[in-house]
Structures are given as structure tokens and as C-alpha cells.
Amino acid sequence: SRQMAAQDDAMDVEEQPTEIDEGLYSRQLYVMGREGQARMAVSDVLIVGMNGLGVEIAKNVILAGVKSVTLHDPTPTSWLDLSAQFYLGEAELGQPRAAVSAPKLAELNQYVKVTCRDDELNPEFLSNFQCVVMINAPYETQLAVNDYCHANGKQFISSEVAGVFGSVFCDFGPEFVVSDINGEAASSCIVASITQASPALVTVLDDQRHGLETGAVVQLDGLDGMEELNGRQFTITFKDAYSFEIDCDTTAMSPYKTAGYVNEIKQPTTLAFKSLRESLTAPGEITLSDFGKWDRPGLLHMAFRALDVWKSKHGGAYPTPGNLEHAGELMGELTTLNEAAGEGEFKLEAEQLGSEATVKVVQQLSVGSAGVINPMCALLGGVVGQEVLKACSGKFMPLTQFFYFDATEALPDQPLTIDQVTPTGCRYDSQIVVFGSEMQEKIMALNYFLVGSGAIGCEMLKNWALMGLAAGESGHVHITDMDSIEKSNLSRQFLFRPSDIGKMKATAATAKAQEMNPAMKITVYEARVGSDSEGLFNDDFFEALDGVTNALDNIEARLYMDSRCLFYQKPLLESGTLGTKGNTQMVVPHLTENYGATRDPPEKSIPVCTLKNFPNQIEHTLQWSRDMFEGMFKQTMEDTNTYLTSPDFAETLRQQQSTKLDTLKNVKAALVDDRALSFDDCIAWTRLNFEVDYNNKIRQLLHNFPEDQVTSTGQPFWSGSKRAPVALVFDASDPLHLAYIKAGANLRASNYGIKGTWDDAYFLAFLPNVVVPGFTPKDGVKIKTPEEEKKEADAKAAGGGGGGAADEELMDVDAQCDEIIAQLPTPASLAGFQLNPVEFDKDIDEHMEFVTAASNLRARNYKIPEADMHRSRLIAGKIIPAIATTTALVTGLVCLELYKVIQSKPVEAYKNGFVNLAIPVFAFSEPQPPATTLAKIQKDGAPFEWKWSAWDRLDIKLGDITLKQLIAHMEDAYGLELTMLSHGVSILYSFFQNKKKTKARMPMTMSQLVTEVTGKEVPPEQKYLIFEVMCSTDEDDEVDVPCVRLFLNAE
């Protein structure tokens, strides 16, 4: 065999490390798991075909971290490639696609060997690979390769993109083992009761459904009573949402008392795949890509088979763009195939075969099949990329076995003429083949705002570069992102390289996108979107835009951009991912509801008393540990620095009446009682904290609530979600105890600018010298129970309040504060002394060492299963699991919707999407129309019933009129009496306002009035003022109307 341009020694490849590089794969590990990642790291993948789809798959698989990717495609680069293949440009025309792409793909991951071969696809060559992927290959070639793969334990995937149509086929062999069929976290619940019966009934606490189905396997642990079940696994039978039976006779066992966990143990599943040769004529149930097109998969199966026959008769060429005669021939081939189907073979029903809808779909496939467009490649590249990872890792449910997708709604309403879709010898030829030259001009003239340049932002910029968005004279892309590049970004934000770490994301992403398409015009910003950047992203900025695309990772920013798009009447293309799950939402002015119209319920917070004294889940101990980190190493240090540097420290304290005593105690500890002068002081401080938190406080809690205590109803106090703790006795030889001391001491040392060490021997030598004071639990210490906390919260919500006792306590607090202040060294005596607060960063291992150790010690107190640093990082850092495949897919879906926005399609053409690549499931729905409110007003002097939505407002284009004129205008134009007028949070006018104040405000212009009431000048460049209004009619009926937008300059 011949080795082509990408030689092994040119790739500068490092071997996959025996330990997984968590810094690189951290977000992906939460998707694929350690075992899955390790299996991928020893997998060799062959990709045959390096068009736009092939390079997308290769990119996603290389980023994910397989062992090697071999590219096979000597096809010369043509103009039709450049609309979707991001590593090919005009300079590469005529050069082999794989050879050009290999060196650039190799830059994506230093651990993945990328080579390029042009060997014959024979058994000897194919035997080198675990997974073989074929792109836009004829069935004849696919069948030969698949026959070998199916018989020899190799996984085979083929895919084809043709215009807005795509197909995928998977064959992972007759016996393929899947370790995890859905990717969901295994169920874990707290046991409430277990019956002495056969079979035994297990009931879990009613604060969480167990989520198990009949046949699931569970393990019981930590039971007090019926200990015979601890550590054993059982197959369950579902009874209801909170109970199930286990296949066990417990009648002779000791009765269940309290505590215990039930944990699901995921079981592997073996799947049997059919070969391509068998599946072509008997495809079985085809995975649906859109429930609204339930009859489409069978039609597309036959249409792609017919397309292969047509190509085989025309030297492998696709039908000529726009050629209706060729479309008719393709329909003829489909009909012939259908008629030739034998007994038991798949065929279309006569009614479907002869329908106008079928003829139209086949025509749409034919006329655009020569076009390989970027959004389809991004979408299918995500789907197929994930199938490759499934083949290599055994993680998640593969496609079984055919999958077809189409986006015919994005096509022009009327068929385009041949002259509109004929390639012109430019980089956008493939897109022109599908959408026409006029559409291409519109795309190039677009002005879009991309908010964010992380994972979604990188993929979106790449898509836009290939589509030619903003590559025309009047087009422009604005992109903003205030973040810099970190190592953990590299496995899914593919525009970045190791050499970019530390650079600003938007700047680096823009440079890479303009390498792909130098004609693209981009302006970069490094500002956070929000009220503080409205001077930058102002009226002129938004009014010049054609639309906004979000690439954000938080709800707050999404809601803000949604409000901006509502105000400026701009389309908003929204998307997001969570591991293998992705969603897209289209927001189109007046056609759809806005993003903020529907929201998820807020996250359930953990009660304070649960965190402080009654944890029962690792999430509780990790939150407690994070709070401890914040208080010990950040907040106390910041408060101390404020005392040392701020002249108005006393005033700051007065504003924190409920916390000022604790603040002062912490400042005194930092500067006097516990001030560290050496690293030994830091070790001693951490050791004493261990004693307080994991021994003394636990003993005090058990003194207040002994293990045998019962409630007023006779129930054991320590039951249900409350777990009786055990005080820990410090043992320096226990790795967890020592890990806590080492991490805490080094963080404390960094606070004081002291050099630390992580040497075990140093700690083990010093720790015996620490004098630990004795402790005796006290009577009269108040500890709130969950029931008391809930009762107090309910009373507060009902309007209950405190009395004189609270006032006496405040007086006592003031006296104690004065006493502490008198003991503090003056700031002048410590001139120049500063502490170094530590800001928690989940990606800094030294921070996570402390959080993990502190959490696991507390978990050990309460007999809660402990978590390693990897899982602790996920929970404590609130990490969003991410993988490149899902990101690519959702950006492809968004760009298909962008085609529709450009054409001003009706609402029924748009699709909001939800995808889960793990199951896999694809679901699309028509966006909801905006909710409307009926307002009975006057218009042109006659009664008018106005159904308005969040997209509407009352535009008044009379210039900077006075309040009196505005009130008169509302009456004259709409027949409405203005009863209240506000701007932001400030009320400018109301019917119950002081008459003297009203009289003074009436002659003021609206900008003067806003300045007068808010104390803020209206910027001279501001075009509008926005007012919320309350109105009524002459009959005193209140009328709901949208906000008023006053144009400050009359038009």
C-alpha cells in the first residue's frame, strides 16, 4: 500500500496516555464515561470519503479521542466541495481531498494518529480497523465492504448527503454489546421501608420517584436492620412510582429499621444487526427523524436506492441540478424497484407510490442531489460521529439500522429553473445547486449578531463561513465573547488549538473562520451582553441587524437577548446542548412565541438545615463543602481586606446587620487569633477545623438528638431522610484525612502568601505536634430540624414577624461588635498588608482536592456513599456535560432554519427540535404562535379590537413631547385614559399622585421627566424611550396594552 501526504512522522502524534487526560476530555468524560473513553482510545477508525460530511465526521471523532483515524479519498477537490468541506479552499482545487485534509485534522487532537491511505478496500486493508465509515459511496462498494465487516466483527456505517436529504446505515454485527442503552444517570434512592415478605416490597422516600422499570437490577446498601440484603443485587418488579418488589424472600430476616440506599446497576444489552445486503430489501423499522413525517422514511429508503441505480447508469454522477427530466427518470427507477420487490421485501403501497406528494419529494431529491451543503453535513456529521463513538465504546443505543432525514421545508416554494441552480465555478456552487443564486446573494448580504464563541459559537462560525454568510459587500457578522480559551475547551471547540490557550475566544475563532472564507466580514467584541453593554450594543447596532443567533451557556443571558430581539423585532435562533441531548428553538417576530414566554421551573434548592445538620446525599455534602471553601478561603479574606483598606468599613457593616457579628469574628480570626505566620500554622489551623467540623459538631448534634430519640408521635427521630451521624476520629494514616489537611493547609498558605508543600512526610511529621483542645457537648445549643425550618418558613411566608426579643438580640450584637472592633489591630498598623482571596475554580485540581476531601469526610460522617474527584467536579462545579457531536448537530439544525428565515417562510415551515443521540430519538414540532391579549381601543375614530402579543408596542412618533401631550395623544389616538406611566422601576405619573407634583411634571418633556425621576440623563444618541402604561376607557374599564415606544426625534 502507498502512504500519501499525511505521513505518520509528519503528524507529531503522542500516544494516548495510559491515564485519561482529564484536562482535555473533562466535559466529554461526563458523557462517555471513563470506560467508554478508554475503549475509544484503543479504537482504529477508517473514513472513506472526505467531502463535507466526511470531514465533519472525522473532526468529531478525532476531537472525541479515538486511537487513530485513517482517511481514504483520492477524489480531486472541486468547486462543489467548498460549500461544506472546511479544510478545502480554492488553492486546493484539483488536489486529493483526503491528502489535503489529513494534516489539518491532525491538529485537532495530539493523541489521535491521523493518516491518509489510498489502498484497495480489500480484507487485508480493512482488517486494520474496528470501525469503517463510508460516505456517498455506491451500494456496490458498500455491499462488498459491509459483507467483510459483518462477518469479521467490524462495525460498519455508511452515510450519504444529497441536497437537503441524508441517509445513514449502521451494522455493528450479529452480536454487539451495549453497556448503557440510554446514558441517563443510574437511579439512586433512599430506602423508606422493606417488608418481611416473599417477594419483599421496597418503598423509597416520596421526595423522589425511583424511575425504575420491571427487569431493572438494583443493589441495596447501608441498611440498618435487614442487613442480610446489604451488598446484594436483585431484579425488580415495578409496583408504583415509589415502590417495587425484589426477587427475595425476607420473611425470616431481621426487620428493617432505618437508612439504606437502593442503587440501579445498569446491565449490558446484546443487539443483533443485519447486513446491508439483507437490510436493503428488508430494512425493518426505520428510525423516525420527524414524527410529523411518519410515512417519509420508507419513501426515502426507496428513493435513495433508486438514486444509486440512476447514478450507476450515469457513470456515478448525480442528476443534473434543476433537471426535471432527470427527476422523472429517478421516479421511474423508484417505480421499477418497487414493482420488482419480492415476497417479504419492502415496497411502497400503491397509494403512496402514485401520490403527488411522493413525486414532489423525489423531484426535490433529484434536482438538488448534486449539492453537498454545510448545514446537512454538520447535522449528519453529528449523528454519524456519535454512531462511530458508539461502535468504539459500546456506550449508548446505536441506530437500528437505517435513518433518513430531510429538510424540504427549507427549499424555495417553487422549483428553481436550471439557470438559477447551475454551478458558476465559485465556492458556493453546492449551495447554489440547492437554493439558487439569488438566495446565495441574500445570504452573503446578511448582518448577524453571534452571541458567544464557545462550542456552539465555533461550529456556527464555521457553518456561516462555508455558507458565505456576510461574505458580500454589505454583509457583516458581529461576535462577542468575554471568555478566554482553556484546555478543557479543546475537545469540543474545534476552532481552537493548544497554542490558543489564554487567547480571547472570539478573536481566535474569527481568525480561523476567516481562514476558511477570507471574504467573511467579522467584528469582534469582548463584552458581556446585558444592561451594562447597551451603550455598545445600542439602537443603531440592533436596527442594522437581520437577526441574532445565541451560542450561550446560561439562561440569564438568553433571556436578555430574547428581550432585545423582542424590542427590536429581530429573529432569534436559539440552541443548547446537554451531553447527547440538544434542542433548537426558532423565534420569529410576530410568527412565534419568544424564548422567555415559557420557562423551566427553577432548580430546587437544598434547605439550610439539611446542609448544616441532616444531609443524606452526596450533593448535600458537596454543596456544604463548596460553601465552606467560599467562607474559609474567599469571603473571610475579602472582608479582612475591606477592613484594612476601606475607610467606610463601619458603614458597610451597618448594612449587614444580620451577618456583621460573624464577619467581625472572621476578620479577628484572620488578623489576630489564627493569623498564619508559617506553613506549620496553616497545617495546625486545618487540623483544628477537622476536629470542629467532623467531630465536635457531630457530637453536639448527637447530644441534642440521641440515636434513640423519638418524636412526639413516637417515630424514631433518626429515620426517613435523617441519618444518624458518626463522629470521625482523626487518623493521619487515613488517605482521606490527610488529603483534607494537605489541601486545606495549602489553600490557607496561599491566602497568606506562604510557600506550601504537598509532601506527605512533612505533614506526617508535624501533625502529632498539633494540640487539639478537648470538647464536651453543651446543653441549650439550639439546632433546627427540617420540620422546624419548614414551619418558620411557612410562618414567614404567611406574614409572621418577630418582637422585642429580636431587638434585645440586636443590641447584644452591637455590643459584641464594638468589643471585637476594639481588639482589632488598626489598618494603619498593618499598612501594606493584604490577604489573597482564592476564587473557586472547578478546573483547578488543588481547589477540587479540598472540596472533594471535605465533602467525603462529611459523607463518611453520615454514611453517605462517597464520590471521587471526577464526579465531585461535575456536581460542585455544576458542569454541563458536552460533546462535539451534539454541538455540530444543533448548529446544523439552526442553519437549516436560517434558510427559512431568509425566505420569510410561514410558521408551519419552522421546526423546533429536540434530539437525544444516546437513545437515539429525534423530535420536531412547529413553534407555538405568540399568546395574544385583546384590547378594545379606538383607531381612526372608530372602535377597534386589537389582538396584540409580546411582539407589539404602541409606537408614538411625535418627538420628545411633554407628559401633557402624551396623555392627550393616548386619549385622542386610542380613546384611552392614561392612569399610570412608568419607566423601568420608576413611576413617572399616576392618577393618585400628589396634585402639586403632577402639575409640575405636566409641561416637562418625557426625557426631562425621566431624568428628573430616575436621576439619570438620557444619552443624546438614544432614539427611544420605553414606557409601561396602565389605561382605562371612559367606562372605567381597565385595558391591557403593550408598552409605549416614544421616538425622541419626530419622523
Q: Residues 676, 682: contact at Cβ < 8 Å?
A: yes
CA 970 from chain centre, in angstroms, equals: 45
Give me 628's grid cell: 465552606
Q: Distance between CA atoms of 695 and 772, rounded to whole angstroms?
A: 12
Choosing from 131, 377, 565, 609, the catalytic residue is 609
- Provide the 3-class DSSP secondary structure of residue 171: strand
922: Cβ–Cβ under 8 A, 6 or more apart, which residues?
Answer: 287, 288, 289, 290, 405, 913, 914, 915
Work out the number of other CB atoms within 10 angstroms of the CB of residue 635. Answer: 16
C-alpha cell at 765: 511529621
- The answer for residues whose C-beta is within 8 angstroms of residue 773's C-beta and 6 or more apart is 688, 691
Residues 602 and 585 sit within 8 Å (Cβ to Cβ)? no
Asked if 1011 and 989 touch (Cβ cutoff 8 Å), the reply is: no
What is the length of the chain? 1051
C-alpha to C-alpha distance for 915 and 909, rounded to whole angstroms? 19
- Residue 624 has what DSSP assignment? H
Amino acid 687 reads R
Contact (CB, 8 A) for 694 and 858: yes
CB-count exposure of residue 389 (10 Å: 0-12, 13-18, 19+): buried
From the number of C-beta atoms within 10 Å of its C-beta (0-12, 13-18, 19+), residue 393 rates as buried
Q: Could you tell me which of 47, 19, 273 has the C-alpha nearest to residue 151?
A: 273
Q: How far apart are CA 802 and CA 618, in angstroms?
A: 35
Tell me if 110 sits within 8 A of 25, measured CB to CB. Answer: no
Strands in 461-512 per DSSP E: 476-480
CB of 321 within 8 A of CB of 421?
yes
Query: Phi and psi (nearest 5°) for 548?
Result: -130, 140
- Rounded CA-CA distance 234/257 in Å is 20
- DSSP assignments along 733-799, one per residue: TSHHHHHHHHHHHHHHHHHTT------HHHHHHHGGG---------TT-----HHHHHHHHHHHHTT
Helical (H) or strand (E) element with 861: helix 845-861
Bridge-based pairing state of the strands 188-194 and 476-480: unpaired
Q: Which residue has the cell 483526503?
A: 98
Residue whose C-alpha cell is 422549483: 415
Contact 408, 166 (CB under 8 A): no
User: How far from 509 is each of 381, 475, 889, CA to CA, in Å?
Assistant: 20, 18, 19
- CA dist 790 and 1023 (Å) reads 50
The three-point CA angle 796-797-803 to 5° equals 25
Distance CA(869)–CA(617), nearest Å, equals 16
C-alpha span between 992 and 983 (Å, rounded)? 17
Coil, helix or strand at residue 201: strand
Q: Residue 1031 catalytic? A: no
Residue 1043: phi and psi, rounded to 5, are: -65, 160
Three-state DSSP state, 177? strand
Which residues participate in catalysis according to the annotation?
Answer: 609
